[in-house]
């Protein structure tokens, strides 16, 4: 195995403002936890600093006029034209240096894709990647440049088949837009239903058009979804269709905003389900490019990414400072002295409604999409 962790302390110190939920520093905490737990020092692993993407490659997804506006926003100047393209909103503020920062984060994901495609790595993780909401000419959902759409488009244009598996709690609307008519990119998103969470898209009947029919798969789940419900929906849909698709590699958006502690979402997962899903993804392809995505409880997100890196590399984390250094670096929660959460299943009406929605979605996919791929129910 050859693994690359793409990381830059300087890049992760970029500040979206004290009141903004998106904190790039999560990547620093994840990197430090990986080192603390001894899962960053194996002989097949290396850490690489990202490089800015060639601005010309932004045109793989974005319109040039939008790129020009983003460059203008990077000077800190505001205008109505910028706001018309989502730049200057509460979610996507005008930030000095945001264009250059976006080139670096997109460069990290593109670098990861090239390492996989050129057979220089089997597993790559870029925690500061995963800006799946950015549209061709519009910034939204904390996303200015859609690094994932750019990287997958580059791979597809190079003749590769790519499966994108998104376990972030928010629907990947920008990615769906990019590949809705494409059959060489399989797009699968598990997310909280748009009925209760931004961006309001990703309904189960959004299944692609033209040659892309059946290659866009949404698994919208109800608020209150817990570990059991989430893993059920994932297992029923994702492994069968990815195995039939036979991708050259998998891109996984492994956001941790599905956790019950996340301040922006309404799922009730612990990192037990998160680990189980990462293990399944690991078994679906020998080559995986993972990107961070969301996660707004930054301490628990760092724990999830540490566990994900461990699973993708088939190593067990061990705290070399156990009994010496307390767990407060993870935050004040009860179980933070360990990487692992205590199981906390939901009960009663909440569980019943969540399971009913999951079964409805799974049944729809098996009825409407599986036959398109020759998969029996």
pLDDT digits (tens, 9 = 90+) for 263-301: 999 999 999 999 999 999 999 999 999 999 999 999 999
| Active-site option among 133, 170, 171, 191 | 133
Token representation of residue 78: 């505001």
The answer to whether 132 and 143 are in contact (CB under 8 A) is yes
Instruction: Match 């969540």 to its residue by tokens.
Output: 354
How far apart are alpha carbons 344 and 226 in whole angstroms?
8
- With cut-offs at 50, 70 and 90, classify the pLDDT of residue 334: very low
Nearest Cα residue to 191 out of 202, 175, 205: 202
Angle at 134 between CA 31 and CA 131, to 5 degrees: 10
How far apart are alpha carbons 282 and 209 in whole angstroms?
29
Specify whether 266 is catalytic: no
How far apart are alpha carbons 330 and 319 in whole angstroms?
13
Please say if the pLDDT value at position 323 is more than 60.
no
Architecture in CATH of 3-52+101-373: 3-Layer(aba) Sandwich (3.40)
Average per-residue pLDDT for the chain: 95
Nearest Cα residue to 293 out of 212, 219, 189, 153: 189
Task: List the helix and strand counts (H, then E) for the chain.
Answer: 11, 8
Sheet order of strands, 249-253 included:
45-48, 3-6, 123-126, 288-291, 249-253, 162-166, 185-192, 216-221
- With cut-offs at 50, 70 and 90, classify the pLDDT of residue 3: very high
What is the H or E stretch that residue 350 is in?
A: helix 348-368
Concatenating the DSSP letter of every residue in 359-375 gives HHHHHHHHHHTGGGGT-
Nearest Cα residue to 173 out of 198, 156, 150: 198
Nearest Cα residue to 162 out of 175, 153, 150, 173: 153
Residue 339, CB-side half-sphere exposure with 13 Å CA sphere: 26
pTM of the model: 0.96
Please say if the pLDDT value at position 56 is more than 70.
yes
pLDDT score for 327: 47
Looking at the chain, how many residues does it have? Answer: 377
Please say if the pLDDT value at position 332 is more than 80.
no
Question: What would the pLDDT profile of 354-374 be if each residue is shown by its tens digit?
Answer: 999 999 999 999 999 999 999
Domain ranges of the chain: 3-52+101-373
How far apart are alpha carbons 263 and 168 in whole angstroms?
14
């Amino acid at each position: 195995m050859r693994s690359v962790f793409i990381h830059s302390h300087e890049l992760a110190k970029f500040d979206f403002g004290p009141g903004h939920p998106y904190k790039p520093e999560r990547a620093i905490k994840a990197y430090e936890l990986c080192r603390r737990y001894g899962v960053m020092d194996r002989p097949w692993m290396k850490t690489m600093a990202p490089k800015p993407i060639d601005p010309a490659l932004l045109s793989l997804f974005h319109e040039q006029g939008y790129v020009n506006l983003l460059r203008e926003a990077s000077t800190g100047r505001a205008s109505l034209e910028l706001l018309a393209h989502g730049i200057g909103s509460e979610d996507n503020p005008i930030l000095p240096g945001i264009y250059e920062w976006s080139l670096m984060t997109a460069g990290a994901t593109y670098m990861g894709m090239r390492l996989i495609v050129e057979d220089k790595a089997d597993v790559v993780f870029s925690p500061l990647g995963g800006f799946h909401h950015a549209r061709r000419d519009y910034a939204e959902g904390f996303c200015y440049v859609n690094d994932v759409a750019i990287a997958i488009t580059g791979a597809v244009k190079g003749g590769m088949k790519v499966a994108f598996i998104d376990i972030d709690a928010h629907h990947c609307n920008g990615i769906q837009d990019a590949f809705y008519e494409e059959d060489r990119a399989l797009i699968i998103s598990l997310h909280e239903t748009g009925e209760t969470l931004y961006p309001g898209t990703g309904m189960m009947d959004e299944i692609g058009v033209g040659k892309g029919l059946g290659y866009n798969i949404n698994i919208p789940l109800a608020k209150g979804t817990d570990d059991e419900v989430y893993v059920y929906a994932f297992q029923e849909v994702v492994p069968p269709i990815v195995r039939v698709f036979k991708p050259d590699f998998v891109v996984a958006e492994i956001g941790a905003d599905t956790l019950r502690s996340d301040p922006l979402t309404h799922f009730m997962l612990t990192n037990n389900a998160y680990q189980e899903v990462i293990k399944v993804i690991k078994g679906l392809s020998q080559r995986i490019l993972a990107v961070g995505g969301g996660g707004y409880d930054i301490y628990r997100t760092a724990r999830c990414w540490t566990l994900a890196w461990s699973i993708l590399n088939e190593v067990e984390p061990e705290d070399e400072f156990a009994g010496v250094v307390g767990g407060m670096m993870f935050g004040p929660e009860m179980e933070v002295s360990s990487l692992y959460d205590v199981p906390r299943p939901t009960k009663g009406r909440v569980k019943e409604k969540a399971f009913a929605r999951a079964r409805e979605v799974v049944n729809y996919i098996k009825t409407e999409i599986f036959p398109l791929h020759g998969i029996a129910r």
